[in-house]
Amino acid sequence: MATAFLSTSTVDSGKFDKLHTLDILDEIKALNLRMREEDREYILIGPGRWGTRDRFLGIPVRWTDIDRAKVIVEAGLDGFHVDSSQGTHFFHNIVATQAGYFYVPFGEKEAFIDWDFLGAITPACRGNFLVHIRREEPFKVEMFGRSGVATVHK
């Protein structure tokens, strides 16, 4: 499967603080609402688990808070290593909406996020914790379910 997206939203890896995940949640809700109003889809990248009930393991979103995200990335950070999501409701929503899901552990050579590249792009908007990027040239996402390989091309 290959899809292209003109925008991505990421929790600023340099500002992430697991004590402020509820504040991050508020920013994500506002962004997702704007994406719904504009009828846009986006890539969502953030540390830890999306949809966790334990706000110290990630961002405790509900599906309606991120339903415009069509690729969801859970990332590990230096000093913040969390196992990937394993909740059945989370995966039911991913499958039902045909959203892509990536888990990117910290420190892997073949599985990584180019935070420097993302940070160098002038954001369309920036919150205290969330950065939203829009580009003329889309990010191309390729997912190969049988091999478990996925890429996002810059």
**What's the pLDDT at 3?**
59
pLDDT in tens, 89-128: 677 777 777 788 888 877 777 778 888 888 888 999 899 9
Q: With 80 as the cut, is the pLDDT of residue 10 above it? A: no
Q: Give the model's confidence band at 4: pLDDT under 50 very low, under 70 low, under 90 confident, else very high.
A: low
How many other β-carbons are positioned within 10 Å of the β-carbon of residue 89? 11
pTM score, whole prediction: 0.86
Q: What is the pLDDT of residues 57-89, one digit of tens each?
A: 888 999 999 999 999 888 877 776 676 666 666
Coil, helix or strand at residue 112: coil
Q: Provide DSSP, 12-62.
A: -TTT--GGGHHHHHHHHHHHHHHHHHTT--EEEEEESEET-SSTTSEE---
Closest CA to 77 of 45, 118, 48: 48
Contact 44, 73 (CB under 8 A): yes
